[in-house]
Amino acid sequence: MIEQVFPDIFRIEIPLPKNPLRATNSYFIRGKQRNLLVDTGFNCQESRQAMIEALHELNASMKITDLLITHLHSDLAGLLTFLVTPETTVWMNEADAYVVGGSRQSPHWALFSSFLQLSGLIADGVEDTIERHPGYKYAPELFDRFTMVTDGLEINVGDYCFKCLLTNGHTPGHICLYDEKKKLLFSGDHILGKITPNITLWQLGEDVLGSYLNSLDRVAALDVEIVLPGHRDIIHDCCGRINELKEHHRLRLENVMDILGGGSMNGVEVASRMKWDLSYENWRDFPWGQKLFATGEAMSHLYHLFYTGVLSIISDNGVLYFKKR
């Protein structure tokens, strides 16, 4: 499905089979000499087919179209190597390009097993099979011809002048595109409408939730009328949505503190007691992917509380336990 959302800007809905996100928004911006395509879809047949049909309908050739990938996740970056031509410039921030360029051989995936171990997922009986992970399964092929996006870089397409904003948190190198004059923001997965972006922790030693909250404040300070997100509907109240997202994480941090009480718990023990907007009766019924998602989210909140001096961490048998100081 293609919808014109602004003069010369088209939203292309790319289906994501068997995925709760349902579809990715890819945006085609028609320029004078060159066009820009923002984000793609999974590297799978359904996404490929939808993209081919959309580009055909838009009468768009990838020879005169450049690509900007907002972040490393395969639902946005997957079709990169399928679409690219020798003439295509591929814009991405270095931190995320490093993961995407390495495809399934990226060191990023080597962190998966240690995340399962340290968070308590292995002890909980979760299978250590990266092949089941959609991000791994639908990744683009190896690629090393990125043009690196730095914070503040400007990209001109037709009547638009987009400033690239590093908005890390959802991923380390997440980029939003902002046109100040048109008050328009391409938000990737930094700000979504009905869905709260997953803030997860694989790589220990980082406060990703802290980074995410800072990046939300950065966008809140901008004059934005229209947000074009990576999934679902366009957002018209940017600051209102940012406040909702901040409140969501504040409540989640409160929930984690209540769960911990006076004891010490690992990531899985906390995740299995947290409030999730899912229809499963208990933790045992959560599918494999949902257990990963929930535990990664719990870990990012636990680590934020550690970095803000509220919790301490103890390692026991290769699993991390958190307790109040």
9-15: strand order across its sheet = 2-6, 9-15, 23-29, 35-38, 65-68, 90-92, 146-148
73 binds Zn ion (CB under 5 A): yes
Q: Shortest gap between Cβ of 237 and Zn ion (angstroms)?
A: 22
Q: Where do we find the tokens 């580009």?
A: 55
**Region binding Zn ion by CB under 5 A among candidate stretches 72-80, 109-117, 263-271, 314-322:** 72-80
179 binds Zn ion (CB under 5 A): no
Q: Where do we find the tokens 């879809």?
A: 41
d(CA 51, CA 184): 24
**Region binding Zn ion by CB under 5 A among candidate stretches 42-50, 65-73, 116-124, 148-156:** 65-73
**Region binding Zn ion by CB under 5 A among candidate stretches 7-15, 70-78, 128-136, 204-212:** 70-78
Q: Site for Zn ion (CB under 5 A): how many residues?
A: 2
User: DSSP letter at 235?
Assistant: B
The two structure tokens encoding residue 45? 């047949």
Q: Shortest gap between Cβ of 13 and Zn ion (angstroms)?
A: 16
Q: Shortest gap between Cβ of 219 and Zn ion (angstroms)?
A: 16
Using CB under 5 A, which residues numbered 96 to 125 contact Zn ion?
A: none
Q: Shortest gap between Cβ of 296 and Zn ion (angstroms)?
A: 12
Q: Shortest gap between Cβ of 215 and Zn ion (angstroms)?
A: 13
Q: Shortest gap between Cβ of 171 and Zn ion (angstroms)?
A: 6
319-324: strand order across its sheet = 264-265, 319-324, 311-316
H or E segment to which residue 259 belongs: helix 238-260
**Nearer Cβ to Zn ion (106/264):** 106
Query: Is residue 43 packed enough to be buried (19+ CB in 10 Å), middle (13-18) or exposed (0-12)?
Result: buried
11 binds Zn ion (CB under 5 A): no
39 binds Zn ion (CB under 5 A): no
- Torsion of the alpha carbons at 20, 249, 73 and 14, rounded to the nearest 10: 40
Using CB under 5 A, pick the residue from 66, 96, 179, 189 that binds Zn ion.
Answer: 189
User: 3-state SS of the chain: helix, strand, coil percent to 5?
Assistant: 35, 20, 40
**Nearer Cβ to Zn ion (120/134):** 134
* Cα-Cα end-to-end distance for the chain: 52
Q: Shortest gap between Cβ of 20 and Zn ion (angstroms)?
A: 13
**Nearer Cβ to Zn ion (25/35):** 25
Q: Which residues bind Zn ion (CB under 5 A)?
A: 73, 189
